[in-house]
Amino acid sequence: MDPFVIILGLMGIVVVVASLISGALERGAVPVVAVFLALGFLLGPSALGLVNIDFRSPELRVLATLALMLVLFSDGVTLNLKDLKPRRPLMLRILGPGTLVPAALIAIAAYFLLKLPAPAAIILGAALASTDPVMLRNALRSRAMPNDARIALRMETGLNDIVLLPIIVITMLIWAPHLSVHGGEPRSVLQSVIGLLLLGPLLGIVVGWAGISALGWVRRRAGVRRDYESLYALGLAFAAYAAAEAVGGSGFVAAFAAGIVIDAQDTELCDCFLEYGEATAEMFLLLTFVALGTTLIWKGLGIFDWNTLLFAAIALGVRSAVLYPMLGGLGLPERDRRLIALLAPRGLSTLLLALLPVFMGIPGAELLFVIACFVVLVSLVVHGGAMTWFLRSGTPSGVPASPIDAAASIPPKTITDVSTVPERITLEELDALRASGESVVIADARKDDAYYSEGGKAAGAVRLDPFDPVLDARTHAVPHEATIAVYCA
């Protein structure tokens, strides 16, 4: 079948299925990754036989490249640099020894337990040290997740890939200098390192800055629709990747750098991406899970033995053993410290990093990917089950588990014609309403990034998350008849 038709058909299936089950997935009842791997299995040769994507399938390289680029770009855009400044000691521990020491210990375990060559063990160790943002999505959005733990895990998922990617690429170049990462003419290791560490970041910054400058100029003169701004952000990611690859740089690093520039320079564009573009990027990531689920990821079950199982236990447990003591002395509550150390699933980012040596054509690289698949499947059971339990048990008593449940639990009520309600209200009008005996509630509905990073809070304001307002209203027992003045600046 035509690869274009296969990709288009899978995209349609993913969008339809993701939309239909979005409510159930938001409740955290089933890990989202498990659903789409199961969908891939259903479409694959072991079930319906409609799709079969293996190492030689042209669709695999296209989907994996797009997915890794979007993972890194989304990491950059959603990082929120304001959160990093007051938490530098935490960031340095997580991204320094908290990332590199587990990667090294996993590599040592791979060398001795699995008898891999040293370069292969290093690549596998780096790939398996990556924490997956897709599997953590619902946990990070949960109201039960403490804020410090949420920010720490976002930092890790947003930055550790960019720490591990150079390790993998440089190891591949040293291991197989006669091959090319980009599929063209082989270059020297020095040229490739310059492309990775200099050209990639530089072109990402240039494309991001030029794109933001052009968008600002058009905004001031003609205006830009908000939904198109999210697509504009994705366009900058694609442009940064292509520009870097065209001159021998790393497109992945360029996409990440462009995301960082957007996060630092244009809050409005960043917010637009979070509202619309992030959903588009997420669909690509879920599409990649479906593609891997047709055949490739299940190859991991074919290498099961006691050595591999022991290696998987080390790969999944070593981060917690290393990071938990490192988080001491930072003033973190004990519960936050445990959550940061324990919630570290391995998923799509690990698989995408493990595919890089396969695409480079390194002999034996397919075995590394198959081992990574086995560890990811174990992680899906262990971490997926733990996060499902966390989402179910962490909701405060009396509060619905999701905004859908919350909405269903509110009795029907006659709604006033909203056209008669003023869009803005002054402080004097608020005081007059209170003086007349009216029940008035001030609601702080800023997005998490602004709410948690900015110091100013309105006196007596109730926090209503803009994505889960009904849930928060129930939590704070906001009266149904109250006048709610919403602050969202």
pTM: 0.79
Residue 355 has pLDDT above 90, yes or no: yes
CATH class of the region 410-487: alpha beta
Tell me the C-alpha distance between 468 and 26, whole Å. Answer: 11
DSSP annotation of 485 reads E
Count the helix, strand and coil residues of the chain and give each as a percent rounded to the nearest 5. Answer: 70, 0, 25
Domain at 3-177+278-393: CATH code: 1.20.1530.20
The more confident residue out of 286 and 240 is 240
pLDDT at 22: 72
What is the per-residue pLDDT for 406?
44
Region 341-353 average pLDDT: 91
**Which tens digit of pLDDT belongs to each residue from 137-189?**
778 877 778 888 888 898 898 889 999 999 999 999 888 877 766 555 666 67
Query: HSE (CB half, 13 Å, CA atoms) of 48?
Result: 10
Q: Which of 356, 375, 296 is nearest to 67 (CA)?
A: 356
Strands (E), 38-89: none
The CA distances from residue 318 to 126, 326, 349, 378, in Å, are 13, 13, 18, 15
- Tell me: pLDDT of 283 over 90: no
Dist CA 389 CA 284 (whole Å): 27
As a whole number, mean pLDDT of residues 183-208 equals 82
**Residue range(s) occupied by CATH 3.40.250 in the chain:** 410-487
**Is pLDDT of 409 > 50?**
no
Tell me where in the chain the CATH 1.20.1530.20 domain(s) lie: 3-177+278-393
One-letter amino acid at 428 equals E
The angle subtended at Cα 28 by Cα 24 and Cα 34, nearest 5°, is 85
437: left (phi over 0), alpha (psi -120 to 50) or beta: left
Band of residue 405 on the pLDDT scale cut at 50, 70, 90? very low
d(CA 104, CA 107): 5
Residue 244: pLDDT band with limits 50, 70, 90? very high
User: What gap in Å lies between CA 260 and CA 232, rounded to an integer?
Assistant: 15
The C-alpha torsion from 263 through 272 and 292 to 358, rounded to 10°, is: -30
